[in-house]
Structure 1
């Protein structure tokens, strides 16, 4: 049975961690470890987390020596992991009990070129009561002009660690858009398969790093991540419009991809994806 590393980057989410913890220990899949890296939380995260995991050897808890941000902390989680497969779980979210088993099964069924699998997620309220499925997640057609904008790949995202080690790794300076940086780099190594099932509970609350108060910052960071991907992939022009040598504005980068939101392109992509071409 392949070992799975569940990666948790925590900052001030101690009050939500108990439900995250319960969802992990209720997994039907048995061969897992949990790597938790706390980014110098100012709440009672340390006491809550260490009190729950206690002496369970499947959980390993670490702390940064100073507040480093999301990119650094998530990268450290991967560096400390020992599993062949890795997946991030935010400390304020939770998994369905079959999430690990279903994800591992998908890897077993897929070809060697599959380096990641991802699933549907359930939006939940602050108390983690289900509200609605995020229906925009779907199987993507992986090619050099795919940048996950608008988002089609999201949690629960599990990836092969050996594929990650072939990339330059998560950008440690990023404060947000960290997952997008990970997705795009991995897609340059191999393909990702979509699991059309809900495996992940995503909690909506006012303190979430990716939610309303930081949306503009996240949009800017995501544009920079996309631009870096364009440069890595040696894309000099899109639809006869030149890709800027250096990053200027998020509007310019998203403008290069506007055609991908139009109906003709979306229909063509859907047909190509269904026909595997």
Structure 2
């Protein structure tokens, strides 16, 4: 199974506080045939020094640097352009993978012959303290995904052999959701591996925790990337709100 190269895409921007643990989790993978492509988006802290130490440690880790700050989507696209793997996986610079994440998920993709997979995940705070578990659906379809983003992006992997390379929308926020919507337009559905294999970090003042900003960017997803009318965008924004709180309620009682 290890004969298939997995390209791991990680953008960084002032990520010095967490990125060492993120990369250590990738180095600990039981699946060894991977390359980690990190594109730094003009960090002003010690991020690049930390990254360069890992590049010197392991030849599978490759570092690219943008000339100007352009956002996570552009940074991810630069890494995707340079990716050589059959599979493209995503891991944000503050999230943590369980050691068996790639091994289990790649085998699952090969067994199911599926183009897009994702897993359950747990949310942790900035100190690494457990907050809640988030359970992914067994399958997710395009119209279902319009209602709420069911997929934790650091759990997602897609198969380049089946889909070709799919790139990020240049929108600065929620471009991860747009990418998943684009993939789901090209395939019947995404398939969930219903095990918890990722720790997703909730950071203070992040887009995930700032609900006003979150809804502004959700509106732009519907209006700009999906080209929906105002009426249709409003309809899906209502559905998103309902589905979002339903999802959060389920995660709290589980």
TM-score range, shorter chain: 0.7 to 0.9
Q: Secondary structure at the match of 1:216?
A: helix
Pairing partner for 1:152 from 150, 153, 176: 150
Which residue of structure 2 aligns with residue 138 of structure 1?
A: 137
Q: Secondary structure at the match of 1:7?
A: strand
Q: Which structure 2 residues correspond to residues 89-100 of structure 1 after superposition, within 5 A?
A: 89-100=91-102
Deviations 1:165-214 (A, max 9, x none): 365x3112x11101101100000111210011011111122254x3334x
State how far apart, in whole Å, the 2-side matches of 1:152 and 1:131 are. Answer: 18
* Gap regions ≥5 residues in structure 1: 232-242, 267-277
Q: Which structure 2 residues correspond to residues 68-217 of structure 1 after superposition, within 5 A?
A: 68-111=70-113, 114-135=114-135, 137-143=136-142, 145-155=143-153, 156-163=155-162, 165=164, 169-172=167-170, 174-190=171-187, 191-206=189-204, 208=206, 210-213=207-210, 215-217=211-213
State how far apart, in whole Å, the 2-side matches of 1:51 and 1:256 are. Answer: 45
Judging changes above 3 Å, is the alpha-carbon distance between structure 1 residues 259 and 181 closer, same or farther for their aligned structure 2 residues? closer
State how far apart, in whole Å, the 1-side matches of 2:161 and 2:218 are. Answer: 25
The answer on whether the counterparts of 1:126 and 1:205 sit within 8 Å (CA) in structure 2 is: yes
The answer on whether the counterparts of 2:202 and 2:209 sit within 8 Å (CA) in structure 1 is: no
* Number of aligned positions between the proteins: 240
Judging changes above 3 Å, is the alpha-carbon distance between structure 1 residues 257 and 140 closer, same or farther for their aligned structure 2 residues? farther
Deviations 1:74-121 (A, max 9, x none): 11121111111011111111100010011101111113xx21100011
State how far apart, in whole Å, the 1-side matches of 2:241 and 2:201 are. Answer: 27
State how far apart, in whole Å, the 2-side matches of 1:221 and 1:258 are. Answer: 14
Between structure 1 and structure 2, the one with the greater Rg is 1
Give the CA deviation at 1:219.
Answer: 2.3
Q: Tell me the TM-score normalised to structure 1 length.
A: 0.78
* Gap regions ≥5 residues in structure 2: 247-254
Judging changes above 3 Å, is the alpha-carbon distance between structure 1 residues 52 and 188 closer, same or farther for their aligned structure 2 residues? same
Point out the structure with the larger helix share.
2
